Amino acid sequence: QTFQTWRNVNAEERANILVRAAAIIRRRKHEFSAWLVKEAGKPWKDADADTAEAIDFLEYYARQMIELKNGKEITSRVGEQNRYIYTPTGVCVTISPWNFALAIMAGTTIAPVVTGNTVLLKPASTTPVVAYKFVEILEEAGLPKGVVNFIPGSGAEVGDYLVDHPKTSLITFTGSRDVGVRLYERAAIVQEGQNHLKRVIVEMGGKDTVVVDSEADLDLAADSIVASAFGFSGQKCSAGSRAVIHQDVYDEVLDKVVTLTKELTVGEPNSREMYMGPVVDEKAYNKIMSYIDTGKEEGRLLAGGEGDSSKGFFIQPTVFADVDPKAKIMQEEIFGPVVALSKATDFNHAIEIANNTEYGLTGAVITKNRAHIEQAKQDFHVGNLYFNRNCTGAIVGYHPFGGFKMSGTDSKAGGPDYLALHMQAKTVSEMY
């Protein structure tokens, strides 16, 4: 019902609500970061970045809506005026993840809102509180009741109902591959009483690779591997859980990675000095420890490999070397602080290995060779490719984010094409 009124609110007012919400969160930034530390176990620096990204999404999408409010320019002719405008789609179901419990939840909620849609927000069942606090902020900023509807609960309990409902027009999901694929399939079914095809935006994860060339800054390479693998305990779809290293520099990079890894601190994230906190829950802990057991059979354990579930769920940052490119820990998304290292005979071989999974989200190449940079731009098949840096940490407006293959629909959150995915393009032609 609210969609019928909200769709007609002018774009400037919808955008202004986002700007006001961003201002409120900026004033209460550390409070929201503290909720992320408390509820998701995020180390302080990661929580701070999560909150900053939520603010960025609010302000960026507000500006983008102002740019799109009059549509795109098309050609008219004598006696005829033509316009190409965007109209809201309908009711959107947002199913958000726990790992960026504020940033991604906020971005996937306010993108449909600012484009004139109404939203059923189902946050991750492990992190509902920060989502609730965010909805409070939206209402404080002037969002009318009924535009965003807070629907906490397990996916098994309410997810299918929301996805299947004939009045659902748009579904935006961030999470695992298996759930995303299942959701995509269900959304394709036209239900009784449904007179439209549902749109689906899914981001489903990755098995991301840092490639180290023989012509590389090896200290930078080691730093990039460690930062990509162990930031927020590797609980990122963009985490670099694989490193493919040219055989000529393999041993040296390996030593540097192990040294850096052993310097990392793990514990309760109640101070800025703690690099890694716990993994999110017991289910995640057991899954990651199972992969570590597999890694001990598939590779050579050089660091970590231990967990402690006596007070929370803490896992030491873990490094496996000499892993076959087709091994399980090189192919499957672990979503924990585990990195597997493989050796490549040359740069072509390294890119071949980097492309050998079903995912295509992020990747990094560390090299000083300009020809290899140009080659990787064409041949490294990922949605977000970084050179001479880590493969995590996409910034709104700087690095539009989304992946190829089974990483999702490559919808590029935080980019110039994202809002249009939540609207319908309409051509209006009037004869004089």
DSSP-based three-state secondary structure for 19: helix
The DSSP annotation for 199-228 comes to: EEEEE-----EEEE-SSS-HHHHHHHHHHH
DSSP-based three-state secondary structure for 401: strand
**pLDDT of 270:** 84
Instruction: Over range 30-34, report the average pLDDT.
Output: 97
- Cite the active site residues: 203, 237
Gyration radius of the chain over CA positions: 23
- Angle at Cα 390 formed by Cα 384 and Cα 393, nearest 5°? 65
Residue 155 has pLDDT above 90, yes or no: no
d(C-alpha 44, C-alpha 272), whole Å: 5
Q: How many CA atoms lie within 13 Å of 222's alpha carbon, on the beta-carbon side?
A: 17
Residue 395 neighbours by CB distance under 10 Å:
14
**pLDDT of 121:** 98
- Angle at Cα 200 formed by Cα 198 and Cα 204, nearest 5°? 155
d(C-alpha 336, C-alpha 236), whole Å: 8
The mean pLDDT value of the chain amounts to 97
Q: pLDDT (tens digit, 9 = 90+) per residue, 321-365?
A: 999 999 999 999 999 999 999 999 999 999 999 999 999 999 999
Instruction: Over range 309-327, report the average pLDDT.
Output: 97
CB contact at 8 A, 387 and 364: yes
DSSP 8-class letter at 231: G
The residue count for the chain: 432
Would you place residue 373 in the very low, low, confident or very high pLDDT band (cuts 50, 70, 90)? very high
Q: In sequence order, what are the beta bridge partners of 242?
A: 209, 340
Residue 288 has pLDDT above 90, yes or no: yes
Q: In sequence order, what are the beta bridge partners of 364?
A: 210, 386
Tokens of 152: 């906490």
Residue 48 neighbours by CB distance under 10 Å:
18
DSSP-based three-state secondary structure for 20: helix
d(C-alpha 136, C-alpha 123), whole Å: 14
Q: pLDDT (tens digit, 9 = 90+) per residue, 250-274?
A: 999 999 999 999 999 999 998 888 9
Instruction: Over range 154-169, report the average pLDDT.
Output: 93
Instruction: Over range 352-379, report the average pLDDT.
Output: 98
